Chain A
Amino acid sequence: MKALRGLGIGWLVLVLIFLLGPTLVVLVDSINSATSFPSPFEQATLRWYRALGEHEEFLDAAINSVEIALASSAIATLCAFLGGFALSRRRVRFGHAISTAMLSPLFIPEIVIGLAILQVLGLVALPLSMLTLIVAHAVFVLPMALRLTLSGFSRFDFGLLDAARSLGANPARAMLAVTLPILRPSLIAGFTLSAVFSFVNLPLSMFLTTPRTATLPVVVFAYMESRIDPMIAALATLVVLIAAAATIGVDRFLRIRILD
């Protein structure tokens, strides 16, 4: 048993190395004074972080991306919670078909739907805005939130709801007091994956952003068409550090954890 557990930890460490490896290479380059990328390590410097200060478009874009990721994931998670409840509570007719349809955003190349959304908006003369971008992102992260909610509901005992009802709770209260706490881990995991997926989305945003709503991937991708320097590594490092700090804060003060 112990040996098994040791193997498990060993495997976990290997996987972590695999996952973090390429990012670490880039992060090291963010404090390397060499101007080209990649280079053998020359000298430690913070000049690439200072250089970021002259590019306020990165900051604006990062703020946009965070706003879009949080808003779209919140919308998607709420929709997924309600829809997942309905699909799991009893055998809904065509349940598999409906849940497959709800996953469909995952199956279509985003670049095509991004363009199609842009064309439809053009046809109905709706201008591009933060709202249209958030809704588009919400649609595309919905499958993630829904899938995790559905697997959460698969372990949920709906008899608990009847028990709550028989104790006098109305349906809404039963939902809040019974379902929500039990589903919490799945909802948090779904929200987190959705937010991450939205934060790094390029193909949708590429078509749906305006100068005011440009997201970080759009700005970084455009920058990297003509430049590749350690400043991009510095930017990635900052994103990772801030995200890490934010999750530690959320854990500490809100007691929200991705694997509760």
Chain B
Amino acid sequence: MARLRSGASVSAWLLAPASLLLIAGIAVPLCATIWLSLSPNVLVHFDGKGLGNFQYLFKSKYYYGVIIRSLRIAAEATVIALIVAYPVALTLRRMASRRASAVGLAMMLPVLSGPLVVVLGWMILLSDGGPLLAPLTPYIGRLRIVGSETGIIVGIVHFILPFTVISLASVLRLIPENLVEAARSLGATPLEIFRRVLLPLSLPGLLSAAIIGFSLAASSFIAPHYLGGPADVTLTALVAQFVLATFNGEMAAAVAVLLLVLMAAIIFLLSIAAARSVRT
């Protein structure tokens, strides 16, 4: 009993630095944000504090559409990134550490050159008259990637892919090779090895990759602005508009709180589901 209690208090101490950081950096500003989100503003009028801003957001078909669109784009981009990244991570798993790291870093380098520069590259490559699509136009018609939701998804997948690959690979590389060898000597096919050994053991990594990818996708705002079409407004763009153009901190706060609740619910359910499937 005494041991257990000391264990719990050690846990508390170990969690203290992270908690302190979060309280100072997130909890306090978040409280301020929630308080602000309950306040009336130039757009929505009500007395005292209340949920008027949220009612306004839910009532408007427009805002409802923006919320759905943002989550859908983020989810699509995350799924695509995971499907693309997993085979890459499997390949990296088998490489010597020096070579795997070199490849991993080569993937990170474009991120370092900055999202604006990358997006410029995409605008050049993917435009209707650009080097990739112009030669194809006579055969498949105008594809129109820049200025569409497809453009946004390409941009977001490109941004989150390195993060998902590294998250997946760092876990896959922890799976001992002799487990795989054992399965193989028992006659397992590559597909069975993947399904029975690699996939279950890499679930925590898959979860990390999904969470990081989805969050980065939902909060990205340079790709939607440069690669999206005029009507492809996302939640982050909306927030940016409230903050930077109409200086409506209250509505910006309301949208942010809404996004936080939705994202936290999704991630919470995801991590519980992942924990279940690991245990069974």
Asked if B88 is at the interface (CB within 8 A of a chain A CB), the reply is yes
CB atoms of B170 and A152 under 8 A apart: yes
CB atoms of A236 and B117 under 8 A apart: yes
CB atoms of B22 and A139 under 8 A apart: yes
CB atoms of B268 and A96 under 8 A apart: yes
CB atoms of B112 and A243 under 8 A apart: yes
Q: C-beta contact mask, B128-167 vs A, less than 8 Å → 1, else 0?
A: 0000000000000000000000000000001001110111
A134–chain B nearest beta-carbon distance, Å: 11
8 Å CB contacts to A: which residues of B161-178? 161-163, 165-167, 169-171, 173-175
CB atoms of A82 and B121 under 8 A apart: no
Classify chain B: how many residues form its interface, as a range: 35 or more
Q: Classify the secondary structure of B's interface with A.
A: helix
CB atoms of B84 and A109 under 8 A apart: no
Question: What CA separation (Å) do A19 and B125 show in the bound complex?
Answer: 13
Contacts of A152 in B (CB 8 A): 170-171, 174
CB atoms of A154 and B204 under 8 A apart: yes
Q: How many residues of A contact B (CB 8 A)?
A: 104
8 Å CB contacts to A: which residues of B94-148? 94, 97-98, 100-101, 103-122, 124-125
Asked if B91 is at the interface (CB within 8 A of a chain A CB), the reply is yes
Contact A259/B100 with A108-B259, A117-B25, A196-B111 known, Cβ cut-off 8 Å: yes
Chain B positions within 8 Å of A, measured between CB atoms, are: 7, 10-12, 14-19, 21-22, 24-26, 28-30, 32-33, 36, 84-85, 87-88, 90-92, 94, 97-98, 100-101, 103-122, 124-125, 158, 161-163, 165-167, 169-171, 173-175, 190, 201, 204-205, 207-208, 211-212, 215-216, 218-219, 221-222, 235-236, 239-240, 243-244, 249, 252-253, 255-256, 259-260, 263-264, 267-268, 271-272, 275, 278
**Can you pick out 5 interface pairs between chain A and chain B where the beta carbons lie within 8 Å of each other?**
A86-B10, A102-B18, A105-B25, A186-B174, A251-B98
Chain A positions within 8 Å of B, measured between CB atoms, are: 1, 4-5, 8-9, 11-12, 15-16, 18-26, 37-38, 75-76, 78-80, 82-83, 85-87, 89-90, 92, 96-113, 115-117, 119-120, 135-136, 138-140, 142-144, 146-148, 150-152, 154-155, 171, 185-186, 189, 192-193, 196-197, 199-200, 202-203, 216-217, 220-221, 224, 228, 232-233, 236-237, 239-240, 243-244, 247, 251, 257-260
Beyond A113-B33, A200-B111, A244-B109, list 4 extra A-B contacts (CB 8 Å). A9-B91, A18-B161, A115-B252, A116-B33
- Across the A-B interface, give the 10 residue pairs with the lowest CB-CB distance, nearest first: A22-B121, A139-B25, A107-B263, A116-B29, A106-B215, A86-B14, A83-B18, A257-B101, A8-B91, A112-B256
